[in-house]
Amino acid sequence: MKITFNQAEEKIREVAREFSEKEIAPLAEELDKEARYPEESFQKMVKLGFTGIGVPEEYGGSGGNEIVKCIVVEEIAKKCASTAGILSIHGIFGQAILRFGTEEQKQQYLPEVTSGGKHGAFALTEPNAGSDAGAVKTHAFKNGDNYIINGTKCFITGGANADYVLVFALTDPSKGLKGMSAIIVPKNTPGFKIGKTEDKMGIRASETSELIFDNCKVPTTNLVGKEGQGFKIAMIMLDGARIGVAAQALGIAKGAIDESVKYMHERVQFGKPIAALQGLQWYIADMATKTEASKWLIYRAASLKDEGQPYSTEAAMAKLNASENARIVTNLALQIHGGYGYMKDYPLERMCRDAKITEIYEGTSEIHKVVIARAVIG
């Protein structure tokens, strides 16, 4: 198990931290208030190679692995959970093409979504098929050399901004989950339109949209993997995505601790900084200890993935622990700030809202408990 970071990884952390402090932090409040997608920040992440992590250089990527991805997501989430979430979810499209796509698909799409500044999205969820992927109704029937797609997807991160969407649809409804396939749908394809953009409580700069497919025609060469492999592809991609969400939650918790320590040294009550108050010191001790535990669950899961070992259970554990911890830590941080923490003048109010979503997307905490329990019980 990996328990230390090498020199190259620490250098990447330094670059990501500096970028977050100089470029991300000054915009975070404004982006949240306006629910504005951070396109400028995204393009800067492209130039830094963050959007190409995990993809070989031959396909336009910047190399690296899951450890590197977690480091970058963690550092960005300290300042803006929305931007970190966008980066994390964006990578799923590329990873799906890298693992299951044809050589032609890799050559065509990967350079665009890694170093080319294009956006990718992952569309599985439907109004009646959230955690229950088996309830997907979107279908794609062959018509000559094309698929005709009909259906609606919802809660799709980056859907409205995506240049390419990996859509999961039933190519053979009679087979249920074994009849689900993954198909690439480019932006501006006739019959593909953007529906409602959600007005969310948290991660407001990370746009979440409804996608509508009405006789949307794409060539059969856009099929990723084989027909019927869609559910398998989706589950494998979600395992990796859970590690990314956990890293996002870790960053939120660490950011809340940083803000709390800073405030405790600056805030004076009864003639001395509140950092001298033992009760608040206990808060910080609990926050730091639980967050450190989350950190190693996350990087253990990431290490297993990088080593090619099974990691589904560990990813579920990391996501469950880190997301619950982010909620607890941000709440304690708000308590430390008192009334000021409740005001939008301080970032804690935003961090509390952002932390909650990490318990919900890529599977709720209850789902992860089922995954973990089944692995333990057998």
Positions marked catalytic? 362
For residues 109 and 104, what is the distance between their CA atoms, to the nearest angstrom?
9
Largest CA distance in the chain: 80
Which residues lie closer than 8 Å to 376 by C-beta, 6 or more apart? none
Total length of the chain:
378
For residues 340 and 334, what is the distance between their CA atoms, to the nearest angstrom?
8
Give whole-number Cα distances, 256 to 300, 339, 352, in Å. Answer: 23, 16, 9
Bridge partners for 164 per DSSP: 120, 186
Residue type, 154: C
Bridge partners for 165 per DSSP: 121, 185
Bridge partners for 122 per DSSP: 166
Rounded to the nearest angstrom, the gap between the alpha carbon of residue 212 and the centroid of all alpha carbons in its chain is 22
**Contact, 305 vs 247, CB < 8 A?**
no
For residues 80 and 255, what is the distance between their CA atoms, to the nearest angstrom?
9
